[in-house]
Chains A and B, each alone.
Chain A
């Protein structure tokens, strides 16, 4: 009888432990699972199925949930941002690869990288407003500060496209350089930064004039961005070169570059600004960089082809 009682106690005491832990959520795109990591102990908690090819995730505008986009399952899964538990699932969202809400919370845009489509939804009820056909491989997206325009990198045709969300029309498409990936608005709202993988650079775009105004040489395979949270600096991952660089958006220069192994991809910064968590895409791990020394101080095993990463207690996105 005693072992049974002990087992029972262990079982029930384990539940609040999991619920209390601050959780990092990692999308293992190659196996359709989520890894949950305890942020205090850096230990993986568990791994569970979420859908086919979950690549990216995004908070709801009111931060009540995190949405995981399952590209091949054609659905969106809502997670509790504290625990990572599944809250609900919305089906029949066609091939959502990269997703984002407009700053005014009116639009929800989903890029279909595989099928060359960009879908604009009403953010209130995820009702499809318009489906755009763009060539080719719509990858990452960013909005203008007034939410009137969404900018899309076209990875297959080396372009940057702008869609007018009020008129629901393609505004312009400009050549941006070989294999563009990440795109982000600078904190002052004046420029777009585009990671151009094939040129190992960040292209700075004046989106009002639809012109590239500067090329910032970065590391090999310049890929994706994440603001440091201080309203000035932005991290950019160089996926082929296994490095991460920091861009000063005031001077539009790279201030430093440090190594991160295994194809650094999506990033998350801790609220205290001390740690950068990065999915190392090719080696099934999350790498944690101590931003005081710019060195990888911890690695955490996760699933196959880890891509998106999120935790609630993160730095400002500005």
Chain B
């Protein structure tokens, strides 16, 4: 048995044990027995998230200590982002999003079929992808990243959306925990965006976990407080430096058309659409009006509430 097989075997048995002893017995009480298979997948999501968080700490915490982009007196400001990460990566927020969005995508999908339209998968469009898992994986990664880029541009371009996205940008002590620091309504919009995409091109079930996990780890790395650039690969993969510039006060962390470096994984999109900035500057992170005393909240609930208030203001006045 190879190491990969051994790890997979260990994970499979752990998932089955947790499911059969901790999750499955609870399903009848909640009237969810019909969703046994979904609950099994959710168990996997939870365990993968747990492993992923452990990996983030092991990989990125030492790097933040050794090569910090910024020196902080303490890491108090980071704590709230840990809560965001746990809520997202252990599956609580994705579960709420699934419950909220699934009925809509289900209705749309069922309605389309009732009218004779069967949504495509990527393999329908490119049959040569069949039996080429690596090529399929890369194709999905690139397509998802392209859609992430445009989603991100809208988050900055539309003032009302920026009002929500401000929660993410208001972190003055940005670390590898900051990727999931988002407003819940922002999460719903993002979820709807990718639900529509999955309706158009589908998601290969066998690769779903990797397609979720690899970008998440890379995004955590991009937010890390690490003074790293990727040298000749700076234009290939988003580095902590490249993304820090996007979060920088007076550089990328703003609404309207002034922002830059929107790419999530591949700077290619910024290069193609003229939004890349490969400056060597290391700006402090946050939003400029925080320097004038504007409050974005320090705790989870306060950040969510103030985000909601900014949204209402943006809808009324056109400015967040």
Contacts and interface: CB of A to CB of B under 8 A. Distances in A.
Interface stretch (A5-13, A27-35, A58-66): A27-35
B121 interface: yes
Contacts of B40: 281-282, 305
A240 interface: yes
A242 to B, nearest CB: 7
Interface residues on B, range: 20 to 34
Interface string A30-70: 11110000000000000011001100000000000000000
Interface in A184-201: 197-198
Contact of A282 (B20, B131, B206): B20
Contacts of A133: 114
Given A115-B113, A178-B28, A283-B12, A94 B118 contact: yes
B118 to A, nearest CB: 5
A314 interface: no
Contacts of A30: 41, 205-206
B124 interface: yes
A266 to B, nearest CB: 13
B205 A32 contact: yes
A137 B206 CA distance: 23
B110 A117 contact: yes
A240 B131 contact: no
B191 to A, nearest CB: 18
A178 B114 contact: no
B204 to A, nearest CB: 6
A74 interface: yes
Interface in A212-254: 221, 239-240, 242
B110 A73 contact: no
A93 B200 CA distance: 17
B34 interface: yes
Given A114-B106, A305-B37, A52 B113 contact: no
B109 A115 contact: yes
Nearest to B19: A282
A116 interface: yes
Given A156-B34, A178-B28, A32 B16 contact: no
Nearest to A154: B34
Interface in B93-144: 106, 109-110, 113-114, 118-119, 121, 123-124, 130-131, 133
Given A49-B131, A282-B15, A91 B206 contact: no
A283 B13 contact: yes
Contacts of A91: 124
A284 interface: yes
A49 B130 contact: yes
Contacts of A52: 121, 202, 204-205
Interface in A85-127: 91-92, 94-95, 112, 114-117
Contacts of B20: 240, 242, 263, 282
A72 B206 contact: no
Contacts of A295: none
A178 B37 CA distance: 16
Contacts of A263: 16, 20
A262 interface: yes
B186 interface: no
B81 interface: no
A43 to B, nearest CB: 14
Given A115-B113, A131-B114, A33 B34 contact: no
A26 to B, nearest CB: 14
A32 B130 CA distance: 11
A74 B133 CA distance: 19
Nearest to A180: B34
Contacts of A33: 206
B163 to A, nearest CB: 36
Nearest to A261: B16
A178 B206 contact: no
Contacts of B179: none
B202 A72 contact: yes
Nearest to B8: A284
B33 interface: yes
B94 to A, nearest CB: 18
A103 to B, nearest CB: 28
A234 to B, nearest CB: 22
Contacts of B130: 49
B195 to A, nearest CB: 14
B24 interface: yes
A147 B273 CA distance: 61
Interface in B22-37: 24, 28, 33-34, 36-37
Contacts of B206: 28, 30-33, 303-304
Given A263-B16, A282-B15, A284-B8, 4 more contacts: A74-B121, A117-B110, A242-B20, A281-B40
13 contacts: A30-B41, A31-B205, A48-B131, A49-B133, A91-B124, A112-B113, A117-B114, A240-B20, A263-B16, A282-B19, A282-B20, A284-B8, A305-B40
Interface of B: 8, 12-13, 15-16, 19-20, 24, 28, 33-34, 36-37, 40-41, 106, 109-110, 113-114, 118-119, 121, 123-124, 130-131, 133, 202, 204-206
The 9 closest A-B pairs by CB, nearest first: A31-B206, A282-B16, A179-B33, A115-B110, A155-B34, A49-B131, A94-B113, A283-B16, A74-B118
